Amino acid sequence: MTMPAPASTATVDLAARFPDVVQLDARPDYTGFIVEKDSLLEVAAAIRDEFGFDLLSSVTGVDYAPDKMEVVYHAYRTSGGPGLAFKVQIPRIDPVEVPSLIHLWPGVDLQEREVWDLLGIKFSGHPDLRRILMWEGFEGHPLRKDWKEGFYEEDVKPFKSRWPQGKFAMAEDLNPFGDNLTFPKNFDPEKWIPEGEALLYGALARYTVENEDGISSDRIVINMGPHHPSTHGVFRAVMTLEGETIKGLKPVLGYLHRNHEKIGERNTFLQNMPYTDRLDYFNSMTNNFGYALAVEKLMKIPVAERADYIRVIVSELSRIQNHLVFIGTLLNDLGAMYTPSLYAYEERELVLDVFEAISGSRMMCNYYRFGGVVRDIPDDVMQKIKDLVYERIPPKTDELDRMLSENEVLLARMRGIRMINAEDAVAYSITGPVLRAAGVPYDIRRADPYGIYDRFDFDVAVRYNGDLMDNYLIRIDEIRQSLRILDQAIRQIPQGPINSQKPAYQVRVPAGEAYGRIESPKGELGFYVLSNGKPNPWRYHVRAPSFVNVTALEKISVGTKIADFVVLLAMFDMVMGECDR
């Protein structure tokens, strides 16, 4: 049985270094430090440079209605170890304003825009503070506690209208606008002038440039997406081109913004579990893991020993199928239409068969419960897992490797095309395979082990060129390392109960905050869960690797050819469900 890791504040004493402006967060079961707003930049610089927390992993806001708001930062060291949380509190009077950290950590760019969009906290000094998930002109900031959407029914679930007098009614019939809509009083749609995208295009580089000979030439603006076969979902990139070279680029997100966090704050803790499946819909097994970790930390409950092993087994299987699909779709983007991806999907189907047999669903597994998992792995399925791990996946991975890695076309397209260097990757808060391919051996399974990952012997896959080829090869390396972990887990798995708790549909979660993070196949997946002792979380934030990684897209793409952009984008292995949430 493993107890959840105690919420650690690392070993630094920030309050001693800045006695006047920093205090320890003394609320029970809270961790970290509260920093005065005016000294945030100074303290943050010290955190980065003196204390060595070089990776600012997550930025989010909390609305402590009615009196104050808070911005929460989580910083980590790429050399490993526990993290440091620091917070800024501001009175909840508009305009709520906090200094932006973008000049210290450029990786906060999109996250600060998200906090502005959803919570209405302004970041002074941010050069391009536009809405990101919703559109310009949208009314209100949805994650504020006093903001209500069209289909608002009650603050928390379960709704009272469902039972015992649960007369069926469509939500549409209950809304004055007859749909999921809400407009301000006396709104006149005919007089509405859409804000359009002037701000977006204004944020891009200039349209007309003059070269040294005095000849002025126009730049072309290209919109790629949201409907484009190579954007892996509904991602949109707007770029200005000079010839074929990208001169400016802005990602446009929010086309799959499903209001995960707002719905998550209304759900009970248990009800959020199946919603996490739909974040990164390739890896519901790892998504569940992160959320379960966060809530178990809050509840301070141990995880059953066997369940811990099962969690590792399903997570690593999930990582394998994710990387296989990544390789398949990457080759699609490179023009090798279908064949590699068809082969990759075959192995994926076999892994999904295992998931279906143990959890019931191929993709949306909903397999974890607080304290363990929902169902044991029966012997016949265990045999199937062994077959896959020992007999099926290794030769098939080798086959894929043999088929692709020496292919001259592939080499010509990928070798030597730089993605990002180590320094920039850390500054931009990139995590996951892209960071490791740039030469930073940062893997949360090793750097800050969760679950029982500290018991396994495996190497952190790392490559040093930082080019596209390395980004591709590191996925194959990771598949092989996952197979190593699986081998050990299958041999060591004990018999026993699969949950330390009794099955219950209402769980008691004491007040406090927890940040549970795991190494998902895409990078660091973090869940920031805040409980006030009620059955529903007060704040539920997902630090999605796809979303944070895409911050660096502009930095990476500017200066490259547009044909390479498709491949650069593919390397992030984005999933829009997680990116837009």
Partner 1 sequence: MYGKGILKGLGVTWKRFWDTYTEDIAWVLRGKKRYYTEEGVQHRSSKDQKGIFTVQYPEEKLIQPEESRFLPFLVYNKLPDGKREILCTSCGICPKVCPPQCIWIVRSNDPVTGRPIPEPTEFYIDMDLCMNCGYCAEYCPFDAIKMDHDFEVSSYGRNVYDMEKLLKSSEYYKSIRPLNYEREEAARITEAEAKKAKEAARAAAQAAKPANPPAAPTA
Partner 2 sequence: MDSETFNLPQYEIPEDLRHAVAVTTLDRLYNWGRRSSVWPLMFGLACCAIEMIAAQTARYDMARFGMEVMRPTPRQADLLIVSGTVTKKMLPPIIRLYNQMPEPKYVVAMGACASGGGPFKEGYNVVAGIDKFLPVDVYIPGCPPTPQALIAGLIKLQEKIDKQTIKEASWYKRKVKDPNYVPVPILGPDLIDPRRTADIKAAAAQKE
Name the residues that contact partner 1, by CB under 8 A.
Answer: 157-159, 161-169, 267, 270-275, 277-278, 339, 343, 346, 349-350, 353, 356-361, 364, 366, 374-375, 381, 384, 387-388, 391-392, 399, 402-411, 503, 505
Measured from the CB of residue 166, what is the shortest distance to partner 2 in angstroms? 16
> How many CA atoms lie within 13 Å of 36's alpha carbon, on the beta-carbon side?
9
Task: Report d(CA 484, CA 502) in Å as an integer.
Answer: 33
Q: Can residue 282 be called a binding residue for partner 2 (CB under 8 A)?
A: yes
For the four alpha carbons of 115, 68, 24 and 88, in that order, the dihedral sign comes to positive
- Residue 209 binds partner 2, judged by CB under 8 A: no
Nearest Cα to Cα of residue 110 among 553, 576, 573:
553
CA distance 421 to 134: 32
With contact defined as beta carbons under 8 Å apart, do 292 and 447 qualify? no
Q: Which does 404 bind (CB under 5 to 8 A by kind): partner 2, partner 1, none?
A: partner 1
Binding residue for partner 2 (CB under 8 A) from 155, 172, 218, 387?
172
Sign (positive or negative) of CA dihedral 71, 74, 75, 78: negative
Of 221 and 364, which has the nearer Cβ to partner 1?
A: 364
Distance of closest approach, residue 245 Cβ to partner 1, in angstroms = 28
* Binding of partner 2 by 207 (CB under 8 A): no
Q: Token digits for 373?
A: 């998992």
- State the minimum distance, in angstroms, from the CB of residue 189 to partner 2: 4
Maximum pairwise Cα distance, the chain: 79
Length in residues, the chain:
581
Instruction: From 413, 235, 430, 432, select the one nearest 322 (Cα to Cα).
Output: 432
- Select the span of 54-62, 127-135, 199-207, 368-376 touching partner 2 (CB under 8 A): 127-135
Identity (one letter) of the amino acid at 508? R
Assign residue 433 a region (left: φ > 0; alpha: ψ between -120 and 50; beta: otherwise): alpha
Q: Alpha-carbon distance 532 to 548, whole Å?
A: 28
Rule CB under 8 A: say whether 342 interacts with partner 2: yes
Cβ of residue 391: shortest distance to partner 1, in angstroms? 5
Beta bridge partners of 531: 512, 537
Q: How far is the CB of 466 from partner 1 (least distance, A)?
A: 22
- Is residue 95 near partner 2 by the rule CB under 8 A? no
When binding is defined by CB under 8 A, the residue of 20, 67, 173, 188 that contacts partner 2 is: 188
End-to-end CA distance of the chain: 33
255, 403, 455, 480: which one binds partner 2 (CB under 8 A):
255
The residue within the footprint of partner 2, chosen from 8, 27, 45, 192 (CB under 8 A), is 192
CB-nearer residue toward partner 2: 228 or 300: 228
Q: Which does 347 bind (CB under 5 to 8 A by kind): partner 1, partner 2, none?
A: none
- The correct pick among 51, 64, 201, 345 for binding partner 2 (CB under 8 A) is 345
Tell me if 357 contacts partner 2 by CB under 8 A. no
Q: Which is nearer to partner 2, 106 or 226 (CB)?
A: 226
Q: Decide if 42 contacts 22 (C-beta within 8 A).
A: no
Contact 246, 527 (CB under 8 A): no
Smallest gap from residue 361 Cβ to partner 2 (A): 9
Q: Which is nearer to partner 1, 342 or 563 (CB)?
A: 342
- Residue from 17, 130, 300, 362 binding partner 2 (CB under 8 A): 362
Rank residues 406 and 457 by Cβ distance to partner 1 and give the closer one. Answer: 406
Stretch that binds partner 2, among 7-15, 102-110, 345-353, 507-515 (CB under 8 A): 345-353
Binding status of residue 32 toward partner 2 by CB under 8 A: no
DSSP string, 2-42: BPPPP--BTB--HHHHSTTTEEE--STT--SEEE-GGGHHH
Rule CB under 8 A: say whether 164 interacts with partner 2: no
Residue 66, preceding peptide bond in cis (omega within 30° of 0)? yes
The site string for partner 2 over 138-157 (x = CB under 8 A, - otherwise) reads xx--x------xxxxx----
HSE (CB half, 13 Å, CA atoms) of 215?
A: 3
Phi, psi (rounded to 5 degrees) for 263: -65, -40
Choose among partner 2, partner 1, none what residue 505 binds, the Cβ cut-off being 5 to 8 Å by kind: partner 1
Cis peptide before 82 (omega within 30 of 0): no
Kindly state whether residue 66 participates in binding partner 2, applying the rule CB under 8 A: no
Which does residue 38 bind out of partner 1, partner 2, none, counting CB within 5 to 8 angstroms by kind? none
3-class secondary-structure state, position 200: helix
Residue 518: which region, alpha, beta or left (left: phi > 0; alpha: psi -120 to 50)?
beta
Closest CA to 315 of 353, 367, 384, 254: 367
Instruction: CB nearer to partner 2: give 46 or 256.
Output: 256
Out of 18, 51, 64, 135, point to the residue binding partner 2 (CB under 8 A).
135
Q: To the nearest whole angstrom, how small is the minimum distance from the Cβ of residue 278 to partner 2?
A: 6
Instruction: Provide the residue type at 405 as one letter.
Output: S
Choose among 134, 99, 97: nearest CA to 114: 134
Sort residue 371 into left (φ over 0), alpha (ψ -120 to 50) or beta: left
Q: Which residue has the tokens 């068809």?
A: 342
CB of 561 to partner 2, least distance (A): 21
Of the candidates 145, 278, 418, 484, which one interacts with partner 2 according to CB under 8 A? Answer: 278
- For tokens 């650069």, the residue is 568
Of 206-214, 272-280, 477-485, 552-560: span binding partner 2 (CB under 8 A): 272-280
| Binding-site partner at residue 366 among partner 2, partner 1, none, CB < 5 to 8 Å by type | partner 1
Residues 396, 106: Cα–Cα separation, whole Å: 40
Q: Which does 259 bind (CB under 5 to 8 A by kind): partner 1, partner 2, none?
A: partner 2
Contacts with partner 2, residue ranges (CB under 8 A): 133-135, 137-139, 142, 149-153, 171-172, 176-190, 192, 194, 226-229, 233-234, 254-260, 262-263, 266, 274-275, 278, 281-282, 341-342, 345-346, 348-349, 362-364, 576-577
